Amino acid sequence: MPKPMYVWSGSAWVSVATEVESLANYATVNYASTQPGMKMVVPTSVAVGSGSGSVDTNGAVTFSGASTVSLNGCFSSTYDNYKIILEIESASANTQISMRMRVAGTDNSASNYWNNRFYGQASSLVSTGATAAGTSFLTVAEYETGVATSILDLFQPFKIGTTRMIGSGEFRYASFYQHSFVKTGQMTVTTSYDGFTLLNTAGNITGTIRVYGYKN
């Protein structure tokens, strides 16, 4: 006849079956959602000006041959702050990628965006900076050749107040020069935004966007 197995619970010897049943309660969605860190957000929908765009069940947004890419329903009261990882894999022309805040499927294109940019060029250790006030977008990425990557932190877009952005990234120029940049900006129209649109100055872009919420 098999003998029962016991484990020490910290205060008493209990059967393995009882302890396993107790531990199973921790393997729940509710438990995971209370842990610190970040969680990928699933937008309610994706729209593109041309080409194609889609979002998978985990929240990864892919787009191809797109003139613009809009994410709807990715900001909410669940999180105050967000991280956006943007990868531009290819483009039909050298381009600058900009962002506009969005609510209920409509971009805010008012001239109330502020931008600060700092560039570094590894080939000759050249750096330059620029500031622009009263523009109709936030500058978030550049594309020349290869793969361009930007990492953006967006602060309190859903709350009614100033939306602020800090970003960094890198891109290649003329196939061999490596450029890096740091960008900061803000949108001073105090609206509760639930999404954003990416726009490019020339051609169409192909790549991936992932949005993560910082747990409060």
Q: What is the spatial distance between Cα 205 and Cα 175, in angstroms, rounded to a whole number?
A: 18
Which residue type occupies 216?
Answer: N
Going 9 to 13 to 16 to 17, the CA torsion angle's sign is negative
Phi, psi of 83 (to 5 degrees): -115, 130
Residue with tokens 């049943």: 21
Region 21-29: mean pLDDT is 53
Region 156-165: mean pLDDT is 91
Residue 33, token pair as written in the block: 């959602």
Region 114-140: mean pLDDT is 67
Residue with tokens 């969605």: 29
**What's the farthest any 2 CA atoms get from each other in the chain?**
81
**37-214 carries CATH number 3.40.50:** no
Average pLDDT in the chain: 80
**What is the pLDDT at residue 26?**
53
Beta bridge partners of 206: 90
Show me where the domains of the chain are located: 1-35, 37-214
Q: What is residue 19's three-state secondary structure?
A: helix
| DSSP secondary structure letter of residue 2 | P
**What is the pLDDT at residue 104?**
93
